[in-house]
Every structure is written in C-alpha cells, then in structure tokens.
Amino acid sequence: MKDYIKIHPWSIVEEGFDASRNKVSESLFSIGNGRMGQRANFEEAFTGPTLKGSYIAGIYYPDKTRVGWWKNGYPEYFAKVLNSVSWNSLDISVDGTPIDMAGTAPLHFRRELDMKNGLLKRKFTVNIRGNFIHAETERFCSMHRKNLGVIRYSITAEKDCTITISSGLNGDVRNQDANYDEFFWENTATGFFEQPVAWLSQQTRKTNFGVYALCRHKWNEGLAPLKTDTYKTDLSAGMGYTFALKAGETLTFEKYCIILSDLYVNRNAFSQQGFQEIQDAYDAGFDTLKKEQTNAWEAIWKNCDIQIEGDDSAQQAIRFNIFQLFQTYTGDDARLNIGPKGFTGEKYGGSTYWDTEAYCIPFYLGTASPDVARNLLLYRYHQLPRAIENAEKLGFTHGAALYPMVTMNGEECHNEWEITFEEIHRNGAIAYAIYDYINYTGDEEYMISHGLEVLIGIARFWAQRVNWSNDKKKYVMLGVTGPNEFENNVNNNWYTNYMAAWCMRYAAEQYEKLAKTNSSRLSEIRDKTKLDYSEIQNWIKIQSNMHFPYDAERNVFLQQDGFLDKELIPVSQLPASQRPIVEHWSWDRILRSCYIKQADVLQGFYFFEDDFDIESHRRHFDFYEPFTVHESSLSPCIHSILANKIGNEEKAYEFYLRTARLDLNDINNDTCDGCHITSMAGTWMTISKGFAGIRIRNGKLHLDPALPTNWNSMRFNLRFRENLLGINIGKKGITVQNIEGSPTEIICNTKPYAISAAGEIFIP
C-alpha cells in the first residue's frame, strides 16, 4: 500500500483502484483555496469506505467535550471546523444502473493531483451491463475566485445508452468525529432561481455562522437533455438530467458552485451576490476559469517552488507539501489560521495549535509577502484578551496571558487535561514567532504596535507559573508537559523552563528598547496593561535564576527532573511488532518509558541554536535521538535540521524523507484521517534551514549549504525583506540571483557577497 503513489515531479498519481485505501487517497488528493476545501471524494456515488468532507475556513462549532469528570478551568467544548454543504456530488446512472466503484470495480483507473495547475483529475472505465463507460473528470477550488468550485465530468459510452445525472447541493452533512453525533446545522432553506440555479442556505447552531451555496450546470452544445427536472427537500436542492448518448458520443457536463459565508458577505446580500458570482462563472466557462487557476498557481510557484535534481521522490514530496500548505492558507485574512489537517480531514478539529508559530510562520516568511506571516501574528494579538481570560480560569491574575493549546476564537478548547493545564510551552512559541517575524522582516514597528503587549502578558504568566525552590535555590516549574507528550505532569521540563526564561528576558529587553526609542508609546502600553517597572525587574531576576536539569557525567541537559531514573533502552531495541508504541502499549507504560514522542530538548536547541556550541549540539543529538520514536509528525523535520548542523548527512536525509513523504507513504498509518499540514511546513524548513543552511543574523541572510550526496542540485526562490532571491546549490558551487529588489548582501560560509539589483553571483 505504501508504494501505490507513482513518482512524478509535478503530480500525485494513483493508478489502479483499491477501495481499502480510498480514505488515504481522499486525503492525499484533497483540494482547496484557503477559503474553502474538500477531500477528494468521488463525484459519482461511492458506497465503499469514505470520509465525505467539504469545509469552509473559519466556520466552526463548539462540540461538547466528553470527559468522565470535571475540574475548574476545564474547557467546555472542542471546537471543530464543520463538514459543510456538499456541492461536488453528481449521482450518475447508465440505463438505470448507478456508477459506483464499490460495487463495480473499474477496469482502468487513474487519479491525478496536478500540483502545477491546482487541478484534481480522474480517468476510469467501468462495465455497466456490457457497456464500457469511459469517464474523465477535472475539479478545482478556484484560487482566483475564492468562492468558486468547478467540476467538468465527461462520459463516453461504447454502446447507445441513457445517462441520468442528479446534481445539486446537500445540507444533510455531519462531522464524523462529532462527540455526541450531533447535527451542527440549522435553519436550512432551499430553492431555485429561474435559470435554473439551485440554492441552499443554512447556519450553524450556537455559533450562528451563515452559509449560502448555489450551483448551475452546463453541457456540450448539440446534446440536449431528453428530460430535465428539479428536486427539493428541507436539506437539499438540485436538478436531474437525462441524456440519450450514442455509441462513441461524449457528454461533457459542467457544474459551477458558489459558496458564501457571512465572514465575508452580509446575509442580506447572499442571494444577490451569489447569483451574480455564479452567473459570471457560468458565462466565463470552464476553460477560462481553468486558465485563471493555472495563472494563479503559476504566480504562487514563482515564489515558493523548490527544484531538486537527482532525486525524483524528494522532488515530488517537497512540492506536495508546499502545494497543500498554500491550498490551506493564503494569508489574506487575519481571522483565519492553519489547522493541523487543513481541509483534508477532521482530526484535531481543524483548530489552531502552536504548530502555526513554530513551523508555519517560517514557511510563509520565506515564500510569501510579509503580510501573510503578519496576519498570523495578528490572529494571536486580537485574541490576547481571551488568552488573559484563559489564564484567569486557571487562577492567574494581573493580565497574565496563557494562549490556548487548541482554539478557534482564542478560548482554550482542548479536550485532554494534560494538554489544557500542562502543555504551557505553547506560550513560548507565540513569543518566539514575534521574534522570528521581526528578525526576518525587519518590521520593528510590529513590536511597537502589537508585539510588546503580547510579550507582557506571556511574561506575566511565566513569572506567576514558577516558584522558588529552597532546596535548589532556583526558580522551578512544576507539573508541566513539554513538547514530548509521552511525559505528562513532570517537573522542570528543560524546554519549557528555557523557553520561559527566554520569554521574560526578551520581554524585558524590548521594554528597555522602547523606553529609549519611543517613550510616549511605552507610556500608552504601560497604561493599557497596568505595567509597573518592578515587574520587569522581577522577570530579569527569575530568568537569571531558573533551574535547568543537567547531568554532569554526560554533560547534557536533562529533559526533566528524574529522566535518568528511567530505563534507557534505545528505540533500536524495540521489536517492530511494538511500533508505534502509542498503538501497542498502555498509556501507563508509555509514561514510565524513556521514549520521546518528538523533539523536546532538541526543539530548544533548534530555536536557540546560537546559545550552544557545535559540540553541545552533537552531544545532545547523539544522546536524545536514539530514544525518540517520532510518533509526532512534527519531530523528523527538527531532527533533520539539527543533523545537518552537526554534519550527520545520513540522518539529515533519512529524516527529510520521513517528514517529506509522511503522508505520501502513509508512514504513521493515519493519513486516512487527513494530511499533516503543519508538519509540511517543517518539511520546507528541512530544505531551507537544513540543506541550504539559511539563517538570519543581524539583518543579513546567511547560507551554509550541505547538499545531500545523491542530489545533483537544489534550486529555490526565497523572499527576504525587499528581495526575491533565486538560490541554486550544486556540486560545484552556489549561484544566487537577485530576481527582484534593490542591491543586497548575503553571507555564505561566513564570507560576505554583494549582489546588485538584477545581478547574479557564483560562489565556488
């Protein structure tokens, strides 16, 4: 099963159909445009294993949390992006027999995700009562017209037959992962305009989001339907068409759909705007809309494509990761964020995690306008009041802010106590993202206008979360869970303590900097946050006296107090039959083991690499990597980057392939639930920060490349401040082209090189 995806530099290709792997394929071949998206469900009926999914960004429901007990501060719900109106269905019958590949296996089947042009394509042949039916489909969510989805479905029969197509909009949809099997939609209404155009409107329960959908159809000239009718229920509306098809004749049927939400359109204007948009799309026609799609993706790939020569598997994988990221988030709306599964599935609810700040922001900084990453920061800034409320629910005071582990609107909504109460390191990722953004873009104004307020709230939280240990004569942090979720309720997780100390130091430094450069704005912030300078002094005192677990014999920082009390058995000694351990071991056994779910101490070394010399990096990598099972999708990319840093090419490449082809090869046996969108950003980081060795220091772009031995070359474009740079790393040297922007300077292998506007340099 793991090898059924064919290697192709620009496409994901599946040849031959196996119903048992269909849910994995539905995830891999998903489409979207940042505003909406859907799994690659078949247009025609399919009664085999499937997860029907069509999603709209920002539309969610507060599903009740299932727990057997309740504690103060526990979230009341788990927010979920909703399975919304289904618009891509075309129920097709041949002489009264439905096309359903669950019952009639195709004689030929090919499915392709054309990543260069943003198209989902399919070809298949089925035998319906002795009549061979050949079908070709194309589908896309328009990157140019964000409310538009389009389908072209062509059918050719080898014998005369009657084709019946039933097509419309279906509001009878549910989330597969609803805790209480609830129906999340209400007040659904359906109807028709004269053309005919079917429409459906509905709103969510509780959150009251409004959605309005329309569809219209077109077919090839000269093939008029024998019969046309309409159907309408409380939850669906559509049209039925019957065509007489002669042997060898082709019916090309097109479906145009507009999906509006009241995030962007006033409900009073739904019908007028929706009708106008569907008319415009219908008049433009499929070929024009497809050309718009191709042009939009050409513009995206101009900024973000990575070309690898000599390794087709790696080439396909990196493009797949980049493609899914831009299908999920385009960055034009600060109210939206990036769910771990994007539009490809329902696991994790589609909510925002710390993944965005730790993994996704670096990707968008290097591949898109700075406004994209800035909007991700603004998403958190606007939710600062909710972060303060979250902290208050746990007993914190005086404007301390605890950002949620999982959220849609800023309120914590995770349904596991050890995450909600203990995995507080997420606060540090929010602060680090502010640093990362400003360091990369040079946008110092953001700190003044928004950033410092967030840092103050976070620093206040850390200052209250620690306590003084008379035994250790240090500040300690008790009862936490670090990035390694296979260790719950530990004391002094090194990563969490280190991140907390850095946050307090960074907040204090930015306070002092603003005091020197813009005292009037600092006064505004102090008044708004009720900040006293004694707090700044306290942060400095705490961060300089924080306890960091350490083993002098091994000369390594310990993941947490007591880590060496565990039985240290390397992962290599685990029988394959017990992997992954999360599926084979009890939780009790996992918590008592030495095994690490994902980079923990090493996550800190990745963020703060300049705090440690190269030997420290090597020593800690060599100590912790053998105990890491990488049962989080976020783990391999960090290990690849660090392996590159210490010159371990074998491990760097091994972990690159693991993160890059995580979904394509279904490595964790969970791609059926959706693709790992946020870890895909980590895959991009393995290229840029790993093999290319990109760092930003003192406002300069640094390169320290280490091309894998089996790659002939690697070329990619990188946006850095006002410039778009083309970087080509080959066996004989490095070429850097200044594609857009003014003259600039880069540092390569510690040496400075000037590049003129539109200029190019070669570094042997």
pLDDT in tens, 585-595: 999 999 999 99
426-441 and 370-382 are packed helices; what angle lies between their axes, rounded to 10 degrees?
150
Distances (CA, A) of 350 to 24, 380, 408, 654: 18, 16, 8, 29
Contacts of 423 (CB under 8 A, 6+ apart): 405, 480, 481, 482, 485
Kindly state whether residue 704 falls inside one of the protein's structural domains. Answer: no
Average pLDDT of the segment spanning 344-358: 91
Per the CB < 8 A criterion, the answer to whether 393 and 386 are in contact is: no
Look at residue 99 in the predicted model and tell me its pLDDT. 97
Intra-chain end-to-end CA distance of the chain, in Å: 43
Q: What is the pLDDT of residues 76-107, one digit of tens each?
A: 888 888 999 999 999 999 999 999 999 899 99
Largest Cα–Cα distance in the chain?
89
Tokens of 166: 């039933």
Identify whether 149 is part of a domain: yes
Same domain, 419 and 272: no
What are the backbone dihedrals phi and psi of residue 31, each rounded to the nearest 5 degrees, phi first?
Answer: -130, 155
Same domain, 261 and 229: yes
Q: Tell me if 469 is assigned to some domain.
A: yes
SS3 assignment, position 643: helix
DSSP state of 7: P
Judged against a pLDDT cut of 80, whether residue 1 lies above it is answered with no
Contact 599, 580 (CB under 8 A): no
Question: 257: pLDDT confidence band, cut at 50, 70 and 90?
Answer: very high
Residue 485 annotated in active site: yes
Across the chain, what does the average pLDDT equal?
95
The enclosing domain of 671 has a CATH number of 1.50.10.10
Structure confidence at residue 4 (pLDDT) = 84
Domain count within the chain = 2
Pairing of strands 744-748, 700-703: parallel
The identity of residue 744, as a single letter, is T
What was the pLDDT predicted at 438?
Answer: 98
**Domain final position from 638, 668, 691:** 691
Q: Which of 223, 234, 105, 209 is nearest to 156 (CA)?
A: 223
Asked if residues 215 and 167 have their Cβ atoms less than 8 Å apart, the reply is yes
Look at residue 507 and tell me whether its pLDDT is greater than 50: yes
Rounded mean pLDDT, 212-233: 95
List, in sequence order, the alpha helices (H) in 518-578.
519-529, 533-543
Residue 580 preceded by cis peptide, ω within 30:
yes
What confidence category does residue 70 fall into, taking pLDDT thresholds of 50, 70 and 90?
low
Q: How far apart are CA 229 and CA 742, in angstroms?
A: 62
For residues 99 and 722, give the distance between their C-alpha atoms in angstroms, rounded to a whole number: 53
What's the one-letter identity of residue 2?
Answer: K
Taking 90 as the threshold, does the pLDDT of residue 502 lie above it? yes
- Residue 131 maps to a domain: yes
| H or E element in which residue 104 lies | none
Q: Are residues 407 and 508 in the same domain?
A: yes
Please, are residues 373 and 103 in contact by the beta-carbon 8 Å criterion?
Answer: no
Across 65-74, 260-269, 608-617, least confident range: 65-74
Query: Stretch 737-754: mean pLDDT, rounded?
Result: 96
**What pLDDT does residue 417 have?**
72
Do 575 and 631 share a structural domain? yes
Q: 538 φ, ψ to 5°?
A: -65, -40
pLDDT at residue 67 above 70? Answer: no
Q: How far apart are CA 624 and CA 571, in angstroms?
A: 11
pLDDT at 351 over 90: no
Whether 703 contacts 693, CB under 8 Å: yes
Reference 506, options 573, 439, 564, 580; nearest CA is 439
**Which of 302, 326, 360 is the last residue in one of the domains?**
302
| Whole-number pLDDT of residue 704 | 96
DSSP line for 593-634? S--BSS-SHHHHHHHTGGGS-HHHHHHHHHHHGGGB---STT
Task: With a cut of 50, say whether residue 723 has pLDDT above it.
Answer: yes
Question: Residue 223 phi/psi, 5° resolution?
Answer: -125, 75
Q: Taking the CA atoms of 631, 635, 636 and 639 in sequence, report the sign of the dihedral they define.
A: negative
Check if the beta carbon of residue 54 is closer than 8 Å to that of residue 29: no
What are the tens digits of pLDDT across the range 382-423?
999 999 999 999 999 999 999 999 999 999 988 777 778 899
Do both 285 and 331 map to the same domain? no
pLDDT of residue 69: 60
Residues whose CB is less than 8 angstroms from the CB of residue 17 and which lie 6 or more positions away in sequence, other chains included = 101, 105, 106, 109, 124
Which neighbouring-strand residues pair with 14? 5, 111
Domain membership of residue 207 (yes or no) is: yes
CB count in 10 Å sphere of residue 174: 14
Note down the domain range covering 457: 305-691
Q: Are 530 and 569 in the same domain?
A: yes
Taken in order 396, 426, 527, 378, is the CA torsion positive or negative?
Answer: negative
Of 683, 692, 701, 675, the C-alpha closest to 730 is 692
Task: Name every residue whose Cβ is closer than 8 Å to that of residue 340 and which is 6 or more positions away in sequence.
Answer: 347, 348, 350, 353, 355, 676, 677, 678
Find the CATH number of the domain harbouring 96.
Answer: 2.70.98.40
Task: Indicate if 646 and 597 belong to the same structural domain.
Answer: yes
101 lies in the same domain as 139? yes
Residue among 485, 535, 625, 631 flagged as catalytic: 485
Regarding whether 327 and 424 lie in a shared domain, the answer is yes
**Tell me: the pLDDT tens digits for 587-641?**
999 999 999 999 999 999 999 999 999 999 999 999 999 999 999 999 999 999 9
* 326 lies in the same domain as 283: no
**What are the helix and strand counts (H, E) for the chain?**
22, 32
Tell me the two tokens of residue 368.
């898109």
Do 212 and 334 share a domain, yes or no? no
The number of residues making up the chain comes to 764
**What gap in Å lies between CA 281 and CA 145, rounded to an integer?**
9
| Residue 702 maps to a domain | no
Least confident range of 59-73, 334-348, 650-664: 59-73
pLDDT at 73 over 80: no
Pair 389, 244 in one domain: no
Token pair, residue 421, equals 């109460």
Indicate the residue type of 587: W
Alpha helices in 518-592 (DSSP H): 519-529, 533-543, 581-584, 587-592
Q: Are 601 and 617 in contact (CB under 8 A)?
A: no
Beta strands in 129-249 (DSSP E): 131-141, 148-157, 161-170, 185-193, 197-204, 210-219, 227-232, 236-245
Q: Which two tokens stand for residue 92?
A: 């097709």
- 646 with 621: CB under 8 angstroms? yes
- Would you tell me how many other CB atoms lie within 10 Å of the CB of residue 288? 11
The CA distance from 340 to 632, in Å, is: 12
Among 691, 718, 735, residue at a domain's last position: 691
Which whole number is the average pLDDT over 184-193? 93
For 729, half-sphere exposure in the C-beta direction (CA atoms, 13 angstrom radius) is 23
pTM exceeding the 0.85 threshold for the entire prediction: yes
How far apart CA 16 and CA 573 sit, in angstroms, is 38
pLDDT tens across 121-130, in order? 999 999 999 9
Q: 655 and 668 in contact (C-beta within 8 Å)?
A: no
The pLDDT tens digits for 11-58 are 999 999 999 999 999 999 999 999 999 999 999 999 999 999 999 999
Q: Under a CB-based contact definition with an 8 Å cutoff, are residues 63 and 182 in contact?
A: yes
Indicate whether 763 belongs to any domain.
no
Residue 686 belongs to a domain: yes
